[in-house]
């Protein structure tokens, strides 16, 4: 059964069975490799309402947020080949797409982005790197949900754009060291592959 799925694409189970959450990587892979509409529909059902909620909390009205969420999901389809599971969870990748659209739409500003680093056709991230990063992302998600309410709300408000940068404490109280090290490792391997 596992053979029918790519090893890192399979949703992993973290903790007890009823706590299992898909990591969505296999769906993005199926969209990327086979333009799989059913996989896309699964992603859409989970993420589109979240993106819409995120944009409304950031100040968009319902009509604009709906339109923008559709646009973000279409971007996911078009850019599926750029997703790197050794550096980001699917939720993180969608967050970055939604955030950039938010700046276009709500602030009418250009969003300068760093130079793109992506795996070429000859090389892909190692499966165990990708799996480790996906597991770290799940740990981070849980750590966030377990923070005291006041602290969690502060972080939430920061990402909705409610706080100016001087008001956001850089100390989030979250275990970011491990995930940063994982991403750094993936970047080193990517740089090596790009040579």
Partner 1 sequence: MIRHHLTDDILLAYSAATLPEAFNLMVAAHVSLCDDCRARLEAFDAVGGAVLDDICDSVGMSDGALAATMALIAGGPPVGVPRAARRAGVLPAPLQDYVGGDLDAIQWRPVGMGVKQAILPTSKDAAARLLLIPAGAAMPDHGHGGLEMTMALQGAFIDAGERFGRGDVEVATADLAHTPIADIGEDCICLAVTDAPLKFKSLLPRIAQPFLRI
Which residues between 78 and 117 bind partner 1 (CB under 8 A)? Answer: 78, 87-89, 91-96, 98-100, 102-103, 107, 109-117
Q: Which is nearer to partner 1, 3 or 193 (CB)?
A: 193
Total residues interacting with partner 1, rule: CB under 8 A = 79
What is the C-alpha to C-alpha distance for residues 5 and 130, in angstroms, rounded to an integer? 15
- The sign one gets for the Cα dihedral 83, 87, 88, 90 is positive
Count of positions (residues) in the chain: 195
Instruction: Give the binding range for partner 1 (CB under 8 A) out of 3-11, 12-20, 122-130, 175-183.
Output: 175-183
The 130-169 contact track toward partner 1, x by CB under 8 A, reads -------x--xx--xx------x--xx-xx-x-xxxx-xx
Position 48 contacts partner 1 (CB under 8 A): yes
Q: How far is the CB of 3 from partner 1 (least distance, A)?
A: 29
Interface with partner 1 in residues 7-46 (CB under 8 A)? 37, 41, 44-45
Q: How far is the CB of 1 from partner 1 (least distance, A)?
A: 26
What is the C-alpha to C-alpha distance for residues 62 and 66, in angstroms, rounded to an integer? 6
CA dihedral angle for residue 133, residue 137, residue 142, residue 144, rounded to 10 degrees: 140
Q: Encoding tokens for residue 180?
A: 């940063």
If we measure between CA atoms, which residue out of 189, 75, 76, 81 comes closest to residue 132?
189
């Amino acid at each position: 059964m596992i053979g029918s799925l790519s090893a890192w694409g399979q949703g992993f189970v973290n903790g007890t069975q009823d706590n299992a959450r898909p990591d969505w990587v296999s769906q993005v892979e199926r969209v990327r490799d086979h333009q799989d509409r059913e996989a896309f529909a699964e992603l859409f059902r989970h993420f589109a309402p979240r993106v819409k909620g995120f944009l409304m909390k950031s100040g968009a009205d319902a009509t604009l947020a709906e339109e923008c969420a559709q646009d973000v999901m279409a971007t996911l389809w078009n850019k599926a080949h750029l997703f790197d599971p050794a550096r980001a969870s699917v939720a993180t990748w969608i967050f970055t797409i939604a955030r950039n659209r938010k700046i276009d739409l709500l602030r009418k500003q250009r969003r300068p982005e760093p130079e793109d680093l992506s795996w070429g056709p000859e090389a892909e991230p190692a499966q165990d790197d990708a799996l480790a990063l996906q597991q770290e992302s799940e740990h981070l998600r849980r750590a966030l949900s377990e923070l005291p309410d006041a602290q969690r709300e502060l972080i939430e408000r920061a990402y909705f754009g409610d706080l100016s940068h001087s008001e956001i404490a850089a100390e989030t109280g979250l275990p970011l060291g491990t995930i940063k090290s994982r991403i750094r490792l993936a970047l080193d391997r990517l740089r090596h592959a790009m040579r």
